[in-house]
């Protein structure tokens, strides 16, 4: 089991993403299921959930809600994703442990994975989703999640929730 913290967009925003994607053909892509769509804040790996949960609660004390929006598609090597914008998102992610892996934080929602040696595979999707912009929503909760493998696929579960309301979680 690996742990990470995340923000989960509301159903209305997830509906917008699903509509924009339609029913994509698999081809070279392994599409993330809607139930797995999230915005990672910090990745922790294999750790004790209770200890990490308490650590995260302390880190998020005094953190307020933030307004977010999903936008155009982009890629990392082998990953197609939507960008996320919002004032205060980077600061929230740093509090939650982003950048502890030694790389800059890039807020995103993963849509699919594809072979790293075929970067052109995502070009049509980047073009198709270039103008995508979701409605703006207010994130009022961060979550600690676990990732387990079931039949070779990741399964994410919320372990603990943290209110983003300037109060102690």
Tell me the average pLDDT across 98-115: 89
The answer to whether the CB of 32 falls within 8 A of the CB of 91 is no
- Tell me which residue of 1, 2, 9 sits closest to 142, measured CA to CA: 9
pLDDT given for residue 25 in this prediction? 79
What three-state secondary structure class fits 156? strand
Higher pLDDT, 151 or 53: 53
- Separation between Cα atoms, residue 115 and residue 32, nearest integer Å: 15
- Distance, in Å, from the CA atom of 138 to the CA atom of 10, rounded to the nearest integer, reads 9
d(CA 165, CA 138): 11
Residues 31-81: tens digit of each pLDDT: 999 999 999 999 998 999 999 999 999 999 989 999 999 999 999 999 999
Residue 1 CA, distance from chain mean position: 18
Residue entry with tokens 């159903």: 11
Sheet containing 141-150: order of strands: 39-45, 2-7, 141-150, 153-163
Which pLDDT band, with edges at 50, 70 and 90, does 119 fall under?
confident
Q: 45-63 burial by CB neighbour count: b if 16+ within 10 A, else e?
A: eeeeeeebbebbeebbeeb
Query: Within 13 Å of residue 18, how many CA atoms lie on the same side as its CB?
Result: 12
Q: pLDDT (tens digit, 9 = 90+) per residue, 10-28?
A: 999 999 999 999 988 778 8
């Amino acid at each position: 089991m690996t742990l990470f913290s995340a923000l989960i967009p509301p159903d209305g925003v997830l509906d917008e993403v699903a509509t924009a994607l339609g029913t994509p053909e698999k081809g070279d892509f392994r599409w993330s299921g809607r139930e797995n769509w999230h915005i990672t804040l910090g990745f922790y790996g294999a750790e004790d959930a209770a200890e990490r949960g308490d650590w995260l609660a302390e880190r998020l004390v005094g953190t307020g809600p933030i307004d977010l929006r999903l936008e155009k598609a982009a890629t990392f090597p082998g990953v197609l994703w939507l960008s996320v914008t919002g004032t205060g998102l980077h600061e929230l992610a740093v509090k939650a442990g982003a950048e502890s892996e030694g790389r800059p934080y890039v807020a995103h929602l993963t849509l699919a994975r594809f072979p790293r040696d075929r970067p052109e595979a995502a070009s049509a999707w980047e073009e198709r989703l270039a103008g995508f912009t979701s409605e703006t929503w207010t994130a009022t909760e961060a979550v600690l999640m676990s990732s387990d493998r079931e039949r070779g696929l990741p399964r994410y579960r919320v372990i603990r929730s943290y209110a983003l309301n300037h109060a102690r979680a």
